[in-house]
Amino acid sequence: MPLYLGLDSSTQGLTAIVLDAGGRRIVFQSSLSFDEVLPKYGTRHGVLPSADPSVVVSSPRMWADALDVMLGRIAASGLDLSRLAAISGSAQQHGSVYLSRLGPRDLGLELSRPVSPIWMDSSTSIECSEIARGVGGDEVLAAHTGSRAFERFTGPQIRKFFKTSPEQYVATSRIHLVSSFLASLLIGAHAPVDPGDASGMNLMDLKTRTWWQPALDATAPDLAAKLPAIVPSSTIIGTLSAYWQRRHGLPPARIAAWSGDNPCSLVGTGLVREGLVAISLGTSDTIFGLMREPRVSPDGTGHVFGAPTGEFMGITVFRNGSLARERVRDEYGLTWERFSRVLGMTPPGNSGRSMLPWFEPEITPRVSTPGVRRFHLDAGDIAGNVRAVVEAQMIAMKLHSGWMGVDVKTIYATGGASANRAILQVMADVFDAEVHQFAVGNTAALGAALRAFHADAKTIGWDDVVRGFTEPVASSLVRPENHEPYKDLMRIHAAREREALTRA
Ligand code: ADP
Ligand code: XUL
C-alpha cells in the first residue's frame, strides 16, 4: 500500500510524518530544530537577530538545508521507499522568498534578497495603509481577500521591499511563499501556490481564487509576472526531481501543492466539516475552523483563508503564544513540569490578578508597541504570573473568535503546548468547552501527508482520507470544571484591552 510524506517547515523547525494509507498508521516521524541542527545560520527560535524588534526575518537557505537533512533522514529510515507515492508540505504562512533564478536545488538558486520576512514581522504599517487606501479601504480589501491589510501579510511585505530596495525588486523574477519555495526545490521548477496559503497575502480574490488586480496594483509594479500561479490545493504539481532521487536514492514520488501550516492543520485535526474549532498552541496561537461560506470578521481582527477542501476557513492569530509562555517560564527558572504544577495550584480567575501579555508586538488585537501590563500582580509573584499569562491568552482567544459564529462546545487542541494538560484545563474553563488532545502533536505535518494522500487518490472523499488518522485520543478529554469566574473576567479583560489600546 502507498506511503505519503508530509513535511512541515514551521517557525522553529522542520517535521516529517510518513503515513501508510492502507494500514491507517503513521510509520515515521522526525523533527529538527533550526537553531540546533543548523547553528551556522545563527537563528534563535528560528529567526535571525535584528536590531529593530519590528523587523523579523529568517533564512531561506536554512530552510533549504533543513529539507536536505530531513530527506536524508527519511532515506536512512529503513522504510520501503519504493512505496512512497506522494509528498506534500506545510509551511509557516506569509513569509516570502525573493528569487532571481531557480537552479535544480538550493545550491543553484539565486536569491535577489538573502533574507525572508516572516509572519512575526510588524514593520509594514505604512504599507498596509497605502494598500488599503489604494483599493478603496479596509472593508473593500477584506471583502475581496478575506482580510484587512496586516503587517505580516505578504502584500505589504512586498510593497516595503519594492519601496526600500527598488533595484532588487526589479531583479526579482519570482516571489514565493515559504510553502511554494520548498515545493519548487522538490520539483526543480517554480511551483504554484494553493489558495490556503495565497489568502495570507492580501492579494488573492477569495471567491475566484485568482490574483486580484486592484490589490496587485496597489502593492508593487509588474507584480503579476513575479507571482506563482494559484492552483487547487489537491493538485499534483510535478515529481521529485532527479537531483533528490540521485542525492538520497528517493523514488520519483508525485509532489502535491504545498499549503500554509494552518490550512494543513485544519485537515490534520480532521476539521473537514463546519461547526468545530481547533486551537493550535505553536509558536503562534491560532483558533480556526472550516467555513462553508466566507464570512469576513466585521471588527477586522480575523481572517478568512481558503481551505484545502475547496471551502473556506476562519482563523484568528495571536503572536504572543508559546514564546510568551516561555518568557514567563524562563523568568522564574521553571521547567514545563513545574509551570504546569504551579498552574494547577492557582484558582481559576487567579484571585483578581491578571495581565495583558504583550511581550512582543501583538497581532490580535493589533499592538505595535509591546509592553506587558500587570493588574494586581507583582512581578515577583511566580504562581500569579504563570496563571495570568495563560488565562489572558485563553480569554483573548475566546473574545476575538466570536466572529466565526461557532458555538464552541468542543475544541481540538494541537501544537507543541497542547501536550500540557494544565494549559488545556484553563482553555476548557475559559471556553466552557471540552478539549481533546491528539496523538500527533504536529497536525500540520500530518495534514500535509493527508493532503498528499488526497491529491494522489483524488476519488477518495475528505472524510475517508482523514478517517483513522485524526480522531482525538479518547482518554485525553479535558472537561470544563469552573467557568463561572470567567464570565466577569471576559468583560474586564475586554475593557482593559480597549483602554490599553487607546493609550498606546
Ligand atoms: P511551531 O510549529 O510553530 O514551530 P510547535 O507547535 O512545535 O511550534 O510548538 C513549539 C512550542 O511548544 C515551543 O516553543 C514550546 O514553548 C512549546 N511547548 C513544548 N512543550 C510544552 C509543554 N510541555 N508545555 C507548554 N509548552 C510547550
Ligand atoms: C497565520 C500566522 C501564523 C503562521 C506561523 O496567519 O501568522 O500562524 O502561519 O505558524
**Ligand 2 mean position, distance from CA 56 (Å):** 13
**pLDDT at res. 275:** 87
CB 444 within 8 A of CB 252: no
**pLDDT at res. 267:** 98
Q: What is the mean pLDDT of the chain?
A: 96
- Ligand 1, atom 11, residue with closest C-alpha: 416
Mean pLDDT of 331-360: 97
Mean pLDDT of 183-196: 96
Mean pLDDT of 243-268: 97
CB 138 within 8 A of CB 300: yes
CB 4 within 8 A of CB 86: yes
**pLDDT at res. 106:** 47
What percent of the chain has a predicted confidence (pLDDT) above 70? 98
In angstroms, rounded to a whole number, what is the distance separating the alpha carbons of residues 85 and 92?
24
Of the pLDDT bands very low, low, confident and very high (cuts 50, 70, 90), residue 108 is: low
Q: Within 13 Å of residue 81, how many CA atoms lie on the same side as its CB?
A: 20
Q: Which helix (H) or strand (E) covers residue 25, if one does?
A: strand 25-33
- Check pLDDT > 70 for residue 103: no
Strand partners, 355: 374
Give the ligand at the shortest distance from the Cα of 12. 1
pLDDT tens-digit profile of 110-149? 899 999 999 999 999 999 999 999 999 999 999 999 999 9
Dihedrals φ, ψ of 429, to 5°? -70, -45
Comparing CA positions, the residue from 189, 185, 183, 190 lying closest to residue 264 is 183
Mean pLDDT of 415-442: 96
**pLDDT at res. 105:** 52
**pLDDT at res. 298:** 83
Mean pLDDT of 180-202: 96
| CB burial readout 420-444, b (16+ within 10 A) else e | bbbbbbbbbbbbebebbbbebbbbb
Q: C-alpha cell of 334? A: 521553571
> Nearest 5 degrees, angle CA 186-CA 190-CA 193?
90
Does the beta carbon of 92 sit less than 6 angstroms from any atom of ligand 2?
yes
Comparing CA positions, the residue from 427, 442, 433 lying closest to residue 406 is 433
> Which of 281, 322, 340 maximizes ligand 1 atoms within 8 Å of its Cβ, making it the mutation to test the pocket?
322
Of the pLDDT bands very low, low, confident and very high (cuts 50, 70, 90), residue 172 is: very high
Comparing CA positions, the residue from 108, 120, 287, 116 lying closest to residue 190 is 108
Does the beta carbon of 322 sit less than 6 angstroms from any atom of ligand 1?
yes
**pLDDT at res. 104:** 53
Contacts of 225 (CB under 8 A, 6+ apart): none
pLDDT tens-digit profile of 450-472? 999 999 997 899 999 999 999 99
Tell me the Ramachandran region of residue 316: left when phi exceeds 0, alpha when psi lies from -120 to 50, beta otherwise: beta
**Ligand 2 mean position, distance from CA 94 (Å):** 7
- Ligand 1, atom 12, residue with closest C-alpha: 416
